[in-house]
Amino acid sequence: MTQYAGSLYIVSAPSGAGKSSLVKALLAQDTGIGLSISHTTRAPRPGEEDGREYHFVSTETFLAMKADNGFLEHAHVHGNWYGTSKAWVASQMQQDRDVLLEIDWQGAKQVMSLVPEGVSIFILPPSMDELERRLRGRGTDSEEVIARRLDAAGQELAQAPGYDYLILNDDFKIALEELKCVVTASRCRFAQQRARHKQQFSNFNI
């Protein structure tokens, strides 16, 4: 298999744990990472824009892409379809760029088996009460959506042991520091360094 210099990060968390906030803060400080914009059949929330948070598509369009083998992974989450464009991830990896996927555990499992060198990170909230507070505090979802997401949180949390890294998002600054450390450590893996510095490594015969 081709060895790329870039790393593929897979980030999951129960809804409301702070995953999008952490990823947004990471990307603001690290321009070397490209965030995959997923396709979804979910309706945009107030303030969300097509092509920025998601590619918002109809179920018909999503299922046509799925039938066309256009997704690296896909899953039905909280009543909607979500999927990662295979072509976009491949193009970024071929350019040796780091890529980050913000996806649920079902999609993460698919990517972990397809890309074993991917780096999986699970974000944990400090407690269920705090998770609920954050979901309500975000102010973007109806009571029905919040209840559905809290219901699903247990199942999502049960998947945490399958991930490479665990970040407890209690104090945001500490969690962000830890996330940045994971990124730095991933870039220092032997295979990534060798792909990045081909000439030096071949000079050393390693």
Q: Is 38 in the site for ligand 5GP (CB under 6 A)?
A: yes
Which C-beta is closer to ligand ADP: that of 99 or that of 175? Answer: 175
Buried b (16+ CB within 10 A) or exposed e, 89-109: beebbeeebbbbbbbbbbbbb
- Residue choice 5, 7, 16, 26 for contact with ligand ADP (CB under 6 A): 16
Of 105, 125, 128, the closest CA to residue 168 belongs to: 125
Q: Is 172 in the site for ligand ADP (CB under 6 A)?
A: yes
Minimum CB separation of residue 47 from ligand ADP in Å reads: 12
Instruction: Give one DSSP letter per residue of 126-149, joined into a string.
Output: S-HHHHHHHHHHH--S-HHHHHHH
Q: Is 103 in the site for ligand 5GP (CB under 6 A)?
A: yes
Of 121, 134, 124, the closest CA to residue 186 belongs to: 121
Which C-beta is closer to ligand ADP: that of 12 or that of 192? Answer: 12
Helices H / strands E in the chain, number of each? 9, 9
Q: Is 108 in the site for ligand ADP (CB under 6 A)?
A: no
Number of shown-chain residues binding ligand 5GP (CB under 6 A): 15
Q: How many residues in the chain?
A: 206
Which C-beta is closer to ligand 5GP: that of 130 or that of 196? Answer: 130
* Residue ranges in contact with ligand 5GP by CB under 6 A: 15, 38, 42, 73, 75, 77-78, 82-84, 102-104, 106-107
